[in-house]
Structures are given as structure tokens and as C-alpha cells.
Structure 1
Amino acid sequence: MDNVIFSFLGTTLDAGFSAQRWSRWRPTIALCQQEDMLVHRLVLFHIGAHDALLRLITADIKRISPETVVEPVLLRMRDPWDFVEVYSALHDFARRYQFNTEQNNYLVHITTGTHVAQICLFLLTETRYFPAKLLQTSPPRNPQRDDSSAFAIVDLDLSQYNQLASRFEAEREEDLSFLKFGIATQNAAFNATIAEIEQVALRSSSPILLTGPTGTGKSFLARRIYELKRAKHQLQGDFIDVNCATLRGEGAMSALFGHTKGAFTGALQARAGYLKAAENGLLFLDEIGELGLDEQAMLLKAIEEKRFFPMGSDKEISSQFQLIAGTHRDLSQDVRDGRFREDLFARINTWLYTLPGLKDRREDIEPNLEFELERIAGQLGKKVRFNSDAKKIYLDYAMAGSTQWAGNFRDLSGSLLRMATLADSGRIDQPLVQAEVQRLSLRNQGSEQSALATQSTLSHPDWIALQTQIDPFDRVQLAYVIQICQQSASLSDAGRSLFEHSRKDKKTPNDADRLRKYLSKFDLSFSQVQGW
């Protein structure tokens, strides 16, 4: 394959017209003096102000390397130190040039030219506009001994460097773990979502829209994205967290966009507003679907132009911020119903991610337990752990298909907080778990009637007499069984509800018989407890 080199004419290092020039190191000439590399074609960039030097260099190369074809390329630019001008000229050249990677080996020489030119060549090679490797030349170590000048070739394809590739992969895994708070989540769909969010967060400043039921962690994830971008020096400002459901009427405009003194009754002082507070940072607008249409229109302008009018002002102000929006609503339906602006939805919908509810991520409940307990330890000032048997009972209930978790991770956190608060000696034991399971079951039933029925059971004379004769653990478990019996139409129905998980392992489950035997341990019957 022929070696084709792209290089700038060195107006300083290559200069020299006297015979003494041959005793000096001239990078462009040195390129063609390498014993281990024949230059078949040298594409020599210049700006036209050094025509005499260009002709001399071309003649000297023909003298020392007749096989080398020099192709001068005039780049029309006024200032070789202007980054935009130099990059644009080189970019235009690279897009026009007919590369043939099957026949030619391309190298980009970054020793000559201004520092700006060298940077531009590096960037265009790194992004593969020049499908080439970098070439760096240096003077001989001992010119007095006629040592040849040195050259080094650098391949910017990082996939060729296993050590670097491994390092970057490890760094990305750290970023993914950071976004997930270090929780070893197991849900494949959720992990795939977080993996793409990590890429988007570090590569784009476009708005991100997080959807999903209440309590799925949209606010937590938005803050984590901000912290990741700030750690990578992509943001310098603050994280501004706004719940749009709390903004109403005139106060919404003022809160978001600020106001001048006297803009409305009660505006005794000027206010910057949330958008200005988020300058150079990240603005998280949770429940964005609750904003009014007027606020939506102003927000659209602020997102697109980064400029807006505070209330009462005829002077625009600017704020560079990144937006993450959150909602539990179906905004596409709200657009059809006229409740949400179609143009704003299109603008914030560039990157749309739906966070699944806890019922769709049941395999992630167990890895979240330790994380939540660590967080709760900070609130309570004490470490709390599950006893192994109690943990199994709790997980069996938490991961069961009938457990709804309407508030998602917010409900899970609240459940753990209750048990941790009541845990003696920092241990969550079986009685605590049984009581919490009963409490959660009542909530899952979703009716006050269930709670009233339970209160009636707990005050029944037969129950009061019985609970003084049994262990606390049996007391909690039996109270829950009685509650299910009272809510079921038959013994079999109650058995199916109570043995939902374990019955799957039996070839011929007899739920009614199992429940009947359990009640008989306490000298009770199904019809008896239904009458309490």
C-alpha cells in the first residue's frame, strides 16, 4: 500500500534558503528521509503567503526522494490561529477528498503548522474525517553523529488498545453503578434504560423526559444525572428541583421566570426565578404536565432560545441550563386533549425514558433492601438489619404477584422505615415483619371496611382471650389469617389467597384442608372466625 501523508508547510521549522539548511532539522524534509518509511505522496497544506518556501521544499524533496509526489493544497484562510476558520477549511477538504483506504495507508503529520492547526488535524483524525493514523516527527538525538530523525505513529482507534478499552469499560460501569446508587439491579429492561441514559447524559445536552408512576425514582435519577455530569465538568451550576404540581396561576409564572419589583400586588422585591437559578446547571421540572398552557408557551421559548421575559419586565434575560422533565401523566394523550402543547412535547421528547413501577421490577426489591436500610440508618442514627428468617418472610410477601406497591419505591421505603424504627437492638425480627405484612395487606385491600373489620376482630372477646394464650409471632400471623377469612367467600378462596406462593410447588394443592388444619391448631374454624 502507498503511504499518503497530510501535513502543513512549516513556515518556521522548514524555513531556510542557504546551503546551511541541509544541516538543520526540517520536519517536512525529514519525513522523506526515513529509511523505514517511503512517502509516496505528500499532501502539503499552505495558506499562500510562503510561495518561495513551498517551491524550495518541493525541490528539496524531489532531490532526496524522487519517488515522493508533492501535492500542494492551498487553504483559504485569513488567520491560521482562528480555530473555527482552520477547522472549517480542513473539514471542507476532508469531505471533498477521495480517500481509498484499500490502496493507501494514510498518515496525518502533526509536527508542523500552528498549534491550532495541529489540534484541528487531531480532532478530524479522531472523528475519522481523515481515516488515518497520526504521525509525529522529532529531531535526531545527536545531530553531530548524523543520527536520523525519529518518527512515531499513533493509532487513535482506541479499540486497538486492550488496556485502554478495559479502563474505559470499567469507568462506564462505575458511571452506571453511580446512576443506580450502587444497587445491583437485576431487571433487564431497567438496566438497559439506565445504560442508554448514561450515554445520553454524557454526550448530549438535549432535554430528557422521564415518565412512570409516582414513586419510581424520577427525581432521584435526575439528581444523579446532574451529579454525574458535574463530576465530568459538563455542568458548573446548581441542581434546581421544581414540583410543577405546586405551581398555580400567577405564582407559577413568577416562580419559573422571576419577576421585577412591583410586577404584581405583593411583589415587594425582584425575584430571579427557577430558570435563572439553574444557569449553567440542571433544571428538573417534575410533574411538568401540571403546568398551565401559558407557562408551557414561555417554557418552550426558554428551552429553545435560552432567553425569556421575567414578569413585569420588557427586557429579556438569558440562562443556559439543561432540562430534565418528569411526569406520571400520558402527555401524548394530554396533547390530544388540548391540555399540553404539542410543540413543547416534541421539544422535551427528544430522549424519552419510562421508569417501570415496583410491581414490574420485583426482582429488584431484594437488592434495594440494603440500600434503603443504609439510607434509613442516616435518618435514625442507628444501623438496622433483618434477621434471615424475617427477611425471607418479608421478601415472599413483597415479591408476590398480589402485592401491588401502589406507591412503588416510596411505599417500600416507608415500609422499611416503619420496621427499622420499631426494631429493638437494630434487628428486624419475624413479629415485626408479620405486623408490617398485615399493615401492607390492609393497604393493598384499599378499603376502610377492611380496616374496620380488623379492628372489630381485634376487639372480639374470643380473640382477646385467645391472644393471651399464644406467642406474639402466632398472634400477628393468626390476626392476618382471620382477616383473609373474613374477606373470602369460602374456605377454599381464603386458602388460595393465603397459600398463593407455596401452592405452586404442590402437584395437588388442597388449600382448604391446609387452612382448616392451621385454624384447628387454635381450636378455631372458618365459620367461627367469619362471625367475629
Structure 2
Amino acid sequence: MKKNVVFGFLGNVLDQRGKGKRRWRHWRPTIDLCYQPDTPISRLELLYYQNDYHLLCEVIKDIKTVSPQTEVHPMVVNIDDPWDFEQVYTCLFDIAKYYAFDPDQESYYLHITTGTHVAQICWFLLAESRYYPAKLLQVSPPNKHQSHSQSYIELTEAALIAQLPRGKMNIIDLNLHRYDQILTRFQQYANQATDLLKSGIATRNQQFNRMIAEIEQVATRSYAPILLTGPTGAGKSFLAKQIYLLKQHHHQISGEFVEINCATLRGDSAMSSLFGHVKGAFTGANLARTGLLKKANGGLLFLDEIGELGLDEQAMLLKAIEEKQFYPFGSDNAVQSDFQLIAGTNKDLKQAIKQGEFREDLFARINLWHYQLPSLAERKEDIEPNIDYELARYAKEHGIMPRFNQQSRRAYLAFATSPDALWQGNFRELNSSIIRMATLAPQANITLKQVEQEIVRLKQNWGQSRNDQALIPSDIDEFDRYQLEKVIEICQKNESLSAAGRQLFAVSRTKKQRSNDADRLKKYLAKFGLSWEVITKGAI
């Protein structure tokens, strides 16, 4: 059972109802809140004004009397005017910003019976925006006060407590789909979340926008692993970090963002880096090591290039995901770690399973949410907003804003979106291109001459694999030429014949009971006297 935690104001009117034994004859909302048998309160975060300190002490003492299991944490608030919306909202927002919420172990409520109407409105807005992962709670007085046959003077305090008036507790429904105007606000908030995932880049690719919208829902509603696939430089690491920031923004995660490229892990260091080791576990292990899985406890672990992980490490990772515990290298004692996993790869994991290089059970576990990130060449309409993003990022890092003039911008954009631009390194390569021009720009003005020089440099970088024109027969129709150029381009950007076939036949393959994309592509290339080996020789 989760613990119930309530935030609420001390009511300097409703909670102050007489002195001595007389106070027990009156309904007091904060006392009643802790006196509900169906909803026991484990912890009460009680906000109060400095002038109400003596009332606070009395209320805390009475709560301990009626509900000994309730911990009361008083929090003094510095609000000069409790009817000033900005002051109240800022104060409550700051509390949420630094509070260590633990939604897995605790259920949170905001008590709106006490406090000004402004405070009640602020509680609502903060709950609706999920700055407080909480529901609204209200207690109301009993319809009729209990009558006593004796005066309070004649009764003992224990007898008065036994007859204490008890009201009704209500949890307020915040299902926004019932309220059109509030739903509009919620949709705006959801749009802000997708903007965060895209880092504010005005993405124009509809397919990518739909994918990001779904990832936003998954990221805020699920703790299951997420698998991001796509070519190198397509933005897997960037998106994983943005998912972490989104979950952190929603108070759904409190630990660190831990990232590791599995391609850099080999031998004993792979096991040690991920799971840690005890002192003396292997030669050179002079000190114990915690490991990245433990470091990610309560946070998010991003394993890039997970397809490069060894089979032994894959088995231990699967156990750690399912049981939330693992054994450090050389240790007999299990270590607990609860983290969310995002895995990234540019490898065909299904093919790796067939080749015995990747565990099928691990793939099944991490493949619940699978998103294929498109290459930059597949999102050419997004090149322009990404250019603006890279310029702004350069300005932030270097303190100077580089700019194109109209002519140079038009020339660079025309090349960047043309078939001649391979963008084999995807967004990472676009970033490098912008950095080069910005660094060399006189007075931060990127000239047409610089753009022309950069285009030459890019073509030279791609020159090793850009021999497709020589591969294309001269005696074919223009229609076939354009189609074949695109096929060759896709082949050179994929790791295998099967991967290229899946990309080329993504729509038609769904209509076939059995699909052999590699065979279809092989036969198509053979029509022009070409083969996979010939057109990918030297390709990056």
C-alpha cells in the first residue's frame, strides 16, 4: 500500500475554534483530515504563516492525539499578501520544484479546504500541470453537530475526543477530458512537452511529428524500456536525453541520466563498467567500483549501440531489468537498482538474433516501444529549421550569433536539400558543417564564398562512396536513372542488403504474407548489372 501524503495550509480561522477542552466540540478541517479511518494520512506537509506558530503547535499536538501514525512536517511560508496570486503561486511552485516526490511509494493530495481562494486556485493549477503529481482533496463539516448530553465542562478530554465531530472527505476528479476549456489548456501543455522532445525545433516532417507525439505519451505514462533505432547521427542520444528531461519535468524521475556507448565496452571492463565489481575481482581491480546500473538508480540509463553488448552482459542486463537487481562482478551480494532503460542501435537486432549475436529474450523485453528514427536525408523539409537550431546552439556556446545573408542561405539550403547531399553522418554531420562555417565566418557573417567552400568540403568527404554516377548505365531512361540514384543512395546508407530492402519496400511488404526484401532488391539491382557489393564498396 502506498503512503498518503497531504499538502495543505493551516487554517488560521477554521482550525482555531476555542481554547482548552472547548476546542474538541468544534469541527476543525486539519484535525478532521487526519481523523478519517478510510484514508489514513502518513505525512502532512503543513504550510503555515509565522504569526500562526502558536496555533500550529496546538494543532500538531491535537493531530498526535487523534492520529499518532501521522507525521506532521510544518513548512513556514513567506507570503506577504495571501490574496496576491503571483506571490502564492510562486511560493507553492518553489516548494514543488525542490520537493523529493516519490510517486511509486506515495500518493499525494492537495488539501484545498483551508487557505484563501487564491491558494485553492493555485493548488488546482499546479496539480493540473503536474508540478505536483497529486489529486485535490477536500473535507467538509458534518451536516449536524453531534449533541452532547453533558456540557464540555463535565466531560473529560478523552470523552470529548470520542465524540469529536467527523466530516466527509472528497477526492476531486481532475479528469480533464470532461472539461472542454481545461482540455484546451492540457493540449497546449502536451504541445509544450513535444516541443521539449524536439528541443524547440519546428519540425515539418509529419511522420516524425506523429512519432514524437506518441513518444511524449509513452514517456509520461510508462516506465517500460524504449528502443530507438536508426542510422548513426540520427539523434538517438539527443532524443534519449530529452525524454529524461521531460520525465524530470513531470516529477516522474529523480535520479541521473547515465549514458554509455556499448561499442566501447570490451572484456572485463564491460562487466565492470555496467555492473560494478568488488575489490580483487580481476587483475587490476584494486578498488571496488559501483557500476553504471547502480548509478542510474532512480534515473534513466541510455545504452547506445546495445547491439554491441556481449552475450554475458546481455543476460545480466535482462535480469537487472526484470528483477531490478544484479550481482557486481566477483560479488555474491545482489545490488538493487530501479532505473528506466532506453536502448539505441543502428544494428538490425533481428538479424543479430539469427546470427546468435543478440539474445531473443532481451530483444523481446526492450522492444515494447520501438521507434525508428529517420535519417536527415529522409527529413529534408526539416533541414532548414535544424540549420537555425544549430546556429542558435553555436551562439549559446560561443557567445556570438553567426548569420547567413540571403544569398548564402539560399545557396546552402538548396544544396543541403538536393540529391547531391548524402548527409551520411545525418544531424551530427549537419552540426559539424554549421560549426565549420560559423567558426570561419568573418564578423560572424557566413558568406556565399564560405558556403561554396563548405559544399566542396562536404562533397570531398563523401567522395569515397559517391561513385554512383559511374555505376549507373548511360543507356537508361531518365525515369529509371532518378529511381536508381535513390536506390543506390539508400543502399550506401544501410548496413545490410536486408536493411536497405526493408526501407525501400516498407509499404508493399506489409501487404505480403511473406516478404523477402533482400531478394527483391537484389533482383532490381541485377536488372542494371549491379550488385550490393559493387555499389557499397567503400561506403560509410
Q: TM-score, normalised by structure 1?
A: 0.57
Indicate how the Cα distance of structure 1 residues 296 and 138 shifts in structure 2: closer, same or farther if over 3 A, else same. Answer: same
Indicate how the Cα distance of structure 1 residues 332 and 236 shifts in structure 2: closer, same or farther if over 3 A, else same. Answer: same
State whether residues 384 and 423 of structure 1, in contact with CA within 8 Å, keep that contact through their aligned partners in structure 2: yes
- Local SS of the residue matching 1:242: strand
Q: Mapping of 1:304-319 within 5 angstroms?
A: 304-319=322-337
Give CA deviations for 1:318-369 in whole Å, capped at 9, x if unaligned. Answer: 1111100000001011111111000000001110001000010000000011
CA distance in 2, matches of 1:152, 1:266: 62
CA distance in 2, matches of 1:368, 1:390: 16
* Alignment partner of 1:370 out of 379, 388, 400: 388
How far the C-alpha of 1:446 sits from its partner, in A, is 2.2
How far the C-alpha of 1:250 sits from its partner, in A, is 1.0
CA distance in 2, matches of 1:438, 1:422: 15
Between 380-389 and 360-369, the greater mean CA deviation after superposition: 380-389
* Alignment partner of 1:220 out of 226, 232, 238: 238
Indicate how the Cα distance of structure 1 residues 345 and 424 shifts in structure 2: closer, same or farther if over 3 A, else same. Answer: same
Indicate how the Cα distance of structure 1 residues 141 and 433 shifts in structure 2: closer, same or farther if over 3 A, else same. Answer: farther
In the alignment, which residue of structure 1 is the partner of 2:316?
298
Indicate how the Cα distance of structure 1 residues 155 and 396 shifts in structure 2: closer, same or farther if over 3 A, else same. Answer: same
How far the C-alpha of 1:429 sits from its partner, in A, is 1.1
- Local SS of the residue matching 2:357: coil
State whether residues 423 and 432 of structure 1, in contact with CA within 8 Å, keep that contact through their aligned partners in structure 2: yes
Between 134-143 and 320-329, the greater mean CA deviation after superposition: 134-143
CA distance in 2, matches of 1:291, 1:169: 40
Within the alignment, does 1:249 sit opposite 2:267 as a pair? Answer: yes
Indicate how the Cα distance of structure 1 residues 136 and 238 shifts in structure 2: closer, same or farther if over 3 A, else same. Answer: closer
Q: Mapping of 1:94-173 within 5 angstroms?
A: 138=141, 157-173=175-191
Within the alignment, does 1:189 sit opposite 2:207 as a pair? Answer: yes
CA distance in 2, matches of 1:294, 1:152: 53
CA distance in 1, matches of 2:435, 2:345: 26
CA distance in 2, matches of 1:348, 1:324: 8
RMSD: 4.0
What letter matches 1:327 in structure 2? T
CA distance in 1, matches of 2:254, 2:174: 30
CA distance in 1, matches of 2:248, 2:173: 30
CA distance in 2, matches of 1:447, 1:351: 34
How far the C-alpha of 1:150 sits from its partner, in A, is 12
Give CA deviations for 1:31-72 in whole Å, capped at 9, x if unaligned. Answer: xxxxxxxxxxxxxxx99xxxxxxxxxxxxxxxxxxxxxxxxx
Indicate how the Cα distance of structure 1 residues 336 and 151 shifts in structure 2: closer, same or farther if over 3 A, else same. Answer: closer
CA distance in 2, matches of 1:397, 1:311: 52
Between 413-422 and 159-168, the greater mean CA deviation after superposition: 159-168
- Local SS of the residue matching 2:317: helix
State whether residues 138 and 151 of structure 1, in contact with CA within 8 Å, keep that contact through their aligned partners in structure 2: no
What letter matches 1:430 in structure 2? L
* Alignment partner of 1:324 out of 342, 345, 348: 342
Within the alignment, does 1:429 sit opposite 2:443 as a pair? Answer: no
In the alignment, which residue of structure 2 is the partner of 1:355?
373
State whether residues 280 and 321 of structure 1, in contact with CA within 8 Å, keep that contact through their aligned partners in structure 2: yes
Q: Which runs of no fewer than 5 residues in structure 1 stay unpaired?
A: 1-23, 26-45, 48-80, 83-115, 120-133, 144-148, 451-483, 501-532
State whether residues 327 and 334 of structure 2, in contact with CA within 8 Å, keep that contact through their aligned partners in structure 1: yes
Give CA deviations for 1:381-415 in whole Å, capped at 9, x if unaligned. Answer: 32101111110100100001232100000110011
What letter matches 1:295 in structure 2? E
- Local SS of the residue matching 2:462: helix
Within the alignment, does 1:264 sit opposite 2:282 as a pair? Answer: yes
State whether residues 380 and 421 of structure 1, in contact with CA within 8 Å, keep that contact through their aligned partners in structure 2: no
State whether residues 140 and 150 of structure 1, in contact with CA within 8 Å, keep that contact through their aligned partners in structure 2: no
Within the alignment, does 1:208 sit opposite 2:226 as a pair? Answer: yes
State whether residues 196 and 242 of structure 2, in contact with CA within 8 Å, keep that contact through their aligned partners in structure 1: yes
CA distance in 1, matches of 2:296, 2:170: 46
* Alignment partner of 1:413 out of 431, 435, 449: 431
Q: Which has the larger radius of gyration?
A: 1
Q: Mapping of 1:362-511 within 5 angstroms?
A: 362-446=380-464
State whether residues 207 and 348 of structure 1, in contact with CA within 8 Å, keep that contact through their aligned partners in structure 2: yes
Within the alignment, does 1:286 sit opposite 2:309 as a pair? Answer: no
Indicate how the Cα distance of structure 1 residues 398 and 315 shifts in structure 2: closer, same or farther if over 3 A, else same. Answer: same
Indicate how the Cα distance of structure 1 residues 433 and 298 shifts in structure 2: closer, same or farther if over 3 A, else same. Answer: same
CA distance in 2, matches of 1:233, 1:157: 19
What letter matches 2:271 in structure 1? M
Indicate how the Cα distance of structure 1 residues 235 and 440 shifts in structure 2: closer, same or farther if over 3 A, else same. Answer: same
Give CA deviations for 1:117-140 in whole Å, capped at 9, x if unaligned. Answer: x99xxxxxxxxxxxxxx9986557
CA distance in 1, matches of 2:231, 2:288: 36
CA distance in 1, matches of 2:282, 2:405: 59
- Local SS of the residue matching 2:371: strand
CA distance in 1, matches of 2:392, 2:144: 60
How far the C-alpha of 1:376 sits from its partner, in A, is 1.5
What letter matches 2:187 in structure 1? E
CA distance in 2, matches of 1:307, 1:140: 53
What letter matches 2:384 in structure 1? E
How far the C-alpha of 1:488 sits from its partner, in A, is 12
Indicate how the Cα distance of structure 1 residues 161 and 429 shifts in structure 2: closer, same or farther if over 3 A, else same. Answer: same
What letter matches 1:181 in structure 2? S
How far the C-alpha of 1:227 sits from its partner, in A, is 1.1
CA distance in 2, matches of 1:416, 1:445: 20
How far the C-alpha of 1:269 sits from its partner, in A, is 0.2
- Local SS of the residue matching 1:445: coil
State whether residues 318 and 362 of structure 2, in contact with CA within 8 Å, keep that contact through their aligned partners in structure 1: yes
CA distance in 1, matches of 2:171, 2:354: 59
Give CA deviations for 1:240-293 in whole Å, capped at 9, x if unaligned. Answer: 010000000111001000000011110000000000010101000000000010
Between 355-364 and 152-161, the greater mean CA deviation after superposition: 152-161
CA distance in 2, matches of 1:329, 1:292: 14
What letter matches 2:252 in structure 1? Q
- Local SS of the residue matching 2:419: coil
In the alignment, which residue of structure 1 is the partner of 2:6?
none
CA distance in 2, matches of 1:315, 1:370: 52
In the alignment, which residue of structure 1 is the partner of 2:532?
none
State whether residues 384 and 426 of structure 1, in contact with CA within 8 Å, keep that contact through their aligned partners in structure 2: yes
CA distance in 1, matches of 2:229, 2:336: 28
State whether residues 176 and 186 of structure 2, in contact with CA within 8 Å, keep that contact through their aligned partners in structure 1: no
CA distance in 1, matches of 2:238, 2:170: 48
State whether residues 184 and 367 of structure 1, in contact with CA within 8 Å, keep that contact through their aligned partners in structure 2: yes
How far the C-alpha of 1:167 sits from its partner, in A, is 1.4
State whether residues 226 and 342 of structure 2, in contact with CA within 8 Å, keep that contact through their aligned partners in structure 1: yes
How far the C-alpha of 1:230 sits from its partner, in A, is 1.1
In the alignment, which residue of structure 2 is the partner of 1:344?
362
Q: Which runs of no fewer than 5 residues in structure 2 stay unpaired?
A: 1-25, 28-36, 39-68, 71-106, 111-136, 147-166, 486-540
How far the C-alpha of 1:228 sits from its partner, in A, is 1.1
In the alignment, which residue of structure 2 is the partner of 1:198?
216
CA distance in 2, matches of 1:292, 1:400: 40
CA distance in 1, matches of 2:177, 2:465: 59
